[in-house]
Structures are given as structure tokens and as C-alpha cells.
Amino acid sequence: MNLIDGKATAAEIKREIAEEVAQIKAGGGKTPHLAAVLVGHDGGSETYVANKVRSCEEVGFHSTLIRYEEDVTEEELLACVERLNNDPDIDGFIVQLPLPKHIREERITEAIDYRKDVDGFHPVNVGRMSLGLPCFLSATPAGIVELLRRYHIETRGKHCVVLGRSNIVGKPVSMLMMQKGIPGDCTVTVCHSRTKDIKEICLQADIIIAALGVPEFLRGDMVKEGAVVIDVGTTRVPSDKTKSGFKLTGDVAFDEVAPKCSWITPVPGGVGPMTIVSLMRNTLLAGRKAIYA
């Protein structure tokens, strides 16, 4: 069993990005600038956004954090999106999800100029990804594919089973894995809550991408010898063994599954750290106008 070290890979990519930013600055170019909009004070969202801002500093980007209280109206938020769309110094921005219930998330997502949509959630970016055209890839699927690429894991002709059909992981990663190219060219099966015989299907998989959000769903007897397992789950399970009072738990019963795997990602330290560097990479591409003019 070999561990796919997402933390080390993410650190390596951050160094590469920092180097590129340094070159841009040395050449008199514009420093990439990411803005993040945070509504309310949800603990998870606070942590994610703080990590994004810190990563910006690490790679040498400018960053701007815009905060709204929980009671912000949809119109106020749309006005903020519009300002960011029109601000020439902002290369890319994100509105941290989830949003309060009185705000329609898709209205906000679609209001973002797709050329600044570094989260890759706008329909234009989702559609272009599906069509195999250059776009901002959403962070988690992009992070998964980048791990497979950097670890030279063979995907062509392999059977990849994706557990979960969410808009932010299951569906887009299934599209990327079936795409022509490397990584890609997989036969892809997407399983979800309605799937029967999920164990039998998993047992056929050369690569399993677990993104159901069900802690330790994938057990040892569901995985064939030599499989590659990518664990996207990050459920906060209460724990009396940690300072924070919870433990990040993946969708994979690691202790049972790992001994059978050729490669496996841990939680934490696997896919998680890769999502933020995917966002950094998109911001760099946005700053360079590498995808959209």
C-alpha cells in the first residue's frame, strides 16, 4: 500500500505557483488578486475562507475578504457580485457556500462573471468542462485529477467507480475521468443512494472515488486487491480525542481498505489540501487571462 500525500503535493504546487507569481512580479506584471465573499459566521465556512486567504499570502497573491452578516439580502449580495465583476483589479472571486436559506445560491452563482468564476461553479464553466473545452475546473475534481497525474497513476482503460452524484464532486469528476486524455479515458460508473449491488460494483473497480459524505461507507470487503482509492469525504464526527471536539472522517474505512490498495489518499491530508491549491491555480490562470481573454 502506498499513500497519496495530498499535503505534500499541495505544498509542492503552492511553491510552483509562488515561483510563477514571483516571476510575474519581477517582470512588472500584475499581482493576481482573489476576493472571497463570506456571509455569516458558520464555523466550517470561516475556516475554509481563512485557509484560502492564508494560501493567497503564501503564494504571493493579493486577497480581499468581504464579509456580510447573516441577514444580507439577495439584492445586496448581487450588487456586491456586480461590483467585483466590474473591478479590474479583481482577477477572480468566490462566494463561499452554503448561503443563508433566503438567498438563492444559483442566482448568485450565475451572476458571477464566468471569466472570474475561479470556483468553476458557473454553468458556462460546468458546460465547457463537460464539452472538454478550456475552463475553470471546480476545485475538488481538479485536485483529484491532479493527484492522479502527479502520482502517474494509470487511468486509460481502467474502470473508475464514482460514489456520489453531487454537482461539486461526483458529476464533474465522472466527466473528467471519462474524458479523452491523461488522466482520463476511464470506463466510469456513477453510483449513488439509489444504486443496488453497490458492493459488487465497487469490487470491479480499478479506481474508486468516494464522495458520498457517509463516514466510513467503503469497507474492506468492497475493494479488490490493488485498487486505487480516493477519499473525498470530510464529515466532522464528534470526538473526545481532539481539541476541537470533532474528527474529520472520510468515506473510506481506512484501516480495512488501505491494506488492499495499491494507492490510497488519507483523510485528512489527501484530497482536502488539493482543493485550495486548485483555487490558487485558477486564480493564477485568471490573472494571466490564460483561459478567457
Catalytic residue among 14, 91, 96, 158: 96
Name residues whose C-beta falls within 8 Å of residue 32's C-beta, 6 or more positions apart in sequence. 21, 24, 61, 62, 91, 92, 283, 284, 286, 287, 288
Which one of 137, 188, 202, 257 is in contact with its own copies (CB under 8 A)?
Answer: 188
Bridge-based pairing state of the strands 207-210 and 246-249: unpaired
14 versus 158: smaller Cβ distance to its own copies: 158
Q: Does 226 bind its own copies (CB under 8 A)?
A: no
Q: Does 196 bind its own copies (CB under 8 A)?
A: yes
187 versus 262: smaller Cβ distance to its own copies: 187
Q: Is residue 208 a contact partner of residue 163, using CB atoms and an 8 Å limit? A: yes
Q: Is residue 221 a contact partner of residue 184, using CB atoms and an 8 Å limit? A: no
Is 119 catalytic? The answer is: yes
Task: Note the helical H segments in the chain.
Answer: 6-26, 43-59, 74-86, 105-111, 123-131, 139-150, 170-178, 198-203, 254-257, 271-287
Which one of 57, 71, 76, 106 is in contact with its own copies (CB under 8 A)?
Answer: 106
Q: Residues touching its own copies: how many (CB under 8 A)?
A: 37
Q: How far is the CB of 74 from its own copies (least distance, A)?
A: 16
42 versus 105: smaller Cβ distance to its own copies: 105
Catalytic residue among 91, 119, 206, 231: 119
Q: How far is the CB of 34 from its own copies (least distance, A)?
A: 22
49 versus 207: smaller Cβ distance to its own copies: 207
For residue 252, what is the DSSP state?
A: B
Which one of 16, 58, 154, 185 is in contact with its own copies (CB under 8 A)?
Answer: 185
170 versus 215: smaller Cβ distance to its own copies: 170
Catalytic residue among 5, 14, 52, 158: 52
Name residues whose C-beta falls within 8 Å of residue 172's C-beta, 6 or more positions apart in sequence. 120, 126, 129, 137, 138, 141
Q: How far is the CB of 49 from its own copies (least distance, A)?
A: 23
Put residue 20 in one of left, alpha, beta given phi > 0 → left and psi -120 to 50 → alpha.
Answer: alpha
Q: Does 85 bind its own copies (CB under 8 A)?
A: no
159 versus 288: smaller Cβ distance to its own copies: 159
Kindly identify the residues of this chain, within the stretch 114-133, that bind its own copies according to CB under 8 A.
122-128, 130-133
Q: Does 201 bind its own copies (CB under 8 A)?
A: yes
Helices 139-150/271-287 angle, 10° precision: 100
Name residues whose C-beta falls within 8 Å of residue 233's C-beta, 6 or more positions apart in sequence. 210, 211, 212, 213, 214, 215, 217, 249, 250, 251, 252, 267
Residue with cell 494509470: 154
The residues binding its own copies (CB under 8 A) are 106, 122-128, 130-133, 156-157, 159, 165, 167, 171-172, 174-175, 178-180, 185-192, 194-197, 201
Q: Which residues are catalytic?
A: 52, 96, 119
